[in-house]
Amino acid sequence: MLENLTITQTHDGLVKKEFSCLELAKAFLDKIEKLDKKIFAFLTLTPDLALSQSKAVDDLISQGREIPILAGIPLAVKDIIMVDGVRCTAASKVLENYIAPYDATVIKKLKSQGAVFLGKTNLDEFAMGASTENSAFGITRNPHDLSRVPGGSSGGSAAAVAAGFSVYALGSDTGGSIRQPASFCGIVGLKPTYGAVSRYGLIAMASSLDQIGPITRTAADARIVFEAISGKDEKDSTSVESKIKDLGFKIKDLRIGVPEEYFIKGMDPDVEKSVKNAIKKLEDAGAKIVDVSLPNNTENALAAYYIIMPSEVSANLARYDGMKYGYSAVGNQQSAISNLSDVYLQSRGQGFGKEVRRRIMLGTYVLSAGYYEAYYLQAQKVRTKIIDDFSKAFQAADVIVTPTAPTPAFKLGEKSKKSLDMYLADIFVTAVNLAGLPALSLPCGKTANGLPIGLQFIGKQFEERKILELGEFFEKL
């Protein structure tokens, strides 16, 4: 099965001429064509782009040239990252017909390696959600169980990798959107340190939290993709070059912190068992397990996140005004348009989905005079406390381990009626974004009814390589 290989295995197969890039791309496109009707991972396919990129790499191989590790390897891209000339919707009616006018920096970097772009994947509208049920174009289903959600907001990307529709994918993570769907779909997801990867060409949700990262089958694959897309970019002033390269990983020297706050009442017993079992395995392999405390992490982080994130959302999404680009309302007899204000109100009212409107209203409210101090300022103080808690914990531990989510993938429709229930799905993932840290989610077992469970490794800033090496080590165990 060509479609279930890792990046390294696919690269080897290409170099040894066991199959050509063109064959590979066609195998994936055929599979998507046949099976994506049930899953709906993709919003847009780019077969012309994929085939021309494959041909170019096949030419290099037939000339006997050495190829970069990602050359000829098919990937899927979350439809909130721009690929020049390809529709980019952010799963919103507002951008339904928007054609990206340039490549995001991550795309440019992957193109320079000869990567093969299969298409753009479904997501919660503007990346707001934890189930991919908030897309304006339809829901994505979990390949492990079609009656369940794939997680979100990068649910299309995670489902694409889990279903064998692409070797790897790109997602974005503002409050868990790479890690939580990776955990629900039984694959690997890396949220890099804030600033490690350029955000240029990523449609903004909450700019102080957003990061692009890889969704892959293995930790080794995540490392390859991370290395290809990271680094300073002059087009994103918050991006930096990490000076930390390899840290000389030795399991016996590693102190792994376990925060008690992450084993909460009401979490799924299979998840708890599986994560504790994983920690035991690491201990048996020689790691030192230490108790750490992150007192502001779980509930306070979630509360702060749901103040700070909507505040930034309300500012970032002000640009969709029905004038500059995107959906513009045309008046009719029921709702006539007679002035500029009508254009704004109707375009935004009709273009944005419910969850997006809810967050814009919430953000506008908490930023308004009189409420700013009570909510936004307070949330920023909590954010500082969370950063402090992590700094303290990282004095005692090199890496922190937690579950990625309190439950496995839930049923479609189970949480979409009550936003608070849905927000609680993010309880273990948002603190990492507020503190700007890197974190990796990888599979650590299954529930009694066969649903994947995810384990999260949180690292110090710019220590992606340490959590990735630990991930590779854990996979071998």
Which distant-in-sequence residues (6+ apart) come within 8 Å of 59 by Cβ? none
Burial of 446 (0-12, 13-18, 19+ CB in 10 A): middle
Distance CA 284, CA 69 (A): 34
User: Is there a contact between 349 and 343 (Cβ–Cβ < 8 Å)?
Assistant: no
Pick the closer one to ligand GLN by CB: 71 or 130.
130
Is residue 230 close enough to count as binding ligand GLN by CB under 6 A?
no
Could you confirm whether 78 is annotated as catalytic? Answer: yes
Going residue by residue from 295 to 324, which x/- string records binding to ligand GLN, judged by CB under 6 A?
--------------x---------------
Distance CA 333, CA 456 (A): 54
From 127-135, 219-227, 283-291, 444-452, give the range in contact with ligand GLN by CB under 6 A: 127-135
Find the shortest distance in angstroms from Cβ 367 to ligand GLN: 17
Please report how many Cα atoms fall inside a 13 Å half-sphere around the Cα of residue 296, on the Cβ side.
Answer: 23
Find the shortest distance in angstroms from Cβ 80 to ligand GLN: 9
Pick the closer one to ligand GLN by CB: 356 or 451.
356
DSSP 200-267: TTBPPS-TTT-EEEEEESSHHHHHHHHHHHBS-BTTBTT------------GGG-EEEEEGGGS-TTS
Given 72, 143, 176, 201, the residue binding ligand GLN (CB under 6 A): 176
Find the shortest distance in angstroms from Cβ 280 to ligand GLN: 30
- Return the amino acid letter for 133: E
Find the shortest distance in angstroms from Cβ 9 to ligand GLN: 30
The interface with ligand GLN within residues 367-426 (CB under 6 A) comprises 426
Is residue 175 close enough to count as binding ligand GLN by CB under 6 A?
yes
From 39-47, 158-166, 171-179, 336-344, give the range in contact with ligand GLN by CB under 6 A: 171-179
Is residue 436 close enough to count as binding ligand GLN by CB under 6 A?
no
Pick the closer one to ligand GLN by CB: 105 or 153.
153
Find the shortest distance in angstroms from Cβ 314 to ligand GLN: 13
Could you confirm whether 153 is annotated as catalytic? Answer: yes
> Which residue is catalytic, options 92, 131, 135, 153?
153
Is residue 127 close enough to count as binding ligand GLN by CB under 6 A?
yes
32-44 exposure pattern, b = at least 16 Cβ within 10 A, e = fewer: beeebeebbbbbb
Is residue 178 classed as helix, strand or coil in its secondary structure?
Answer: coil
Find the shortest distance in angstroms from Cβ 141 to ligand GLN: 18
Minimal CB distance to ligand GLN: which residue? 177
Pick the closer one to ligand GLN by CB: 155 or 459.
155
Is residue 174 close enough to count as binding ligand GLN by CB under 6 A?
yes
Dmax (CA) of the chain: 73
> Which residue is catalytic, options 20, 54, 78, 183?
78
Distance CA 235, CA 197 (A): 11
**CA 169 → CA 31, 112, 154, 220, 405, distances in Å?**
16, 17, 10, 14, 21
Going residue by residue from 84 to 123, which x/- string records binding to ligand GLN, judged by CB under 6 A?
----------------------------------------
Find the shortest distance in angstroms from Cβ 157 to ligand GLN: 12
DSSP 278-340: HHHHHHHTTPEEEEE--TTTHHHHHHHHHHHHHHHHHHHGGG-SSSSSS------SSS---SH
Q: Give the residue among 372, 456, 409 at the shortest CA–CA distance from 181.
A: 409
Is residue 177 close enough to count as binding ligand GLN by CB under 6 A?
yes
Distance CA 36, CA 431 (A): 34
Catalytic residues: 78, 153, 177
Q: Which residues bind ligand GLN (CB under 6 A)?
A: 127-130, 153, 173-177, 205, 309, 426
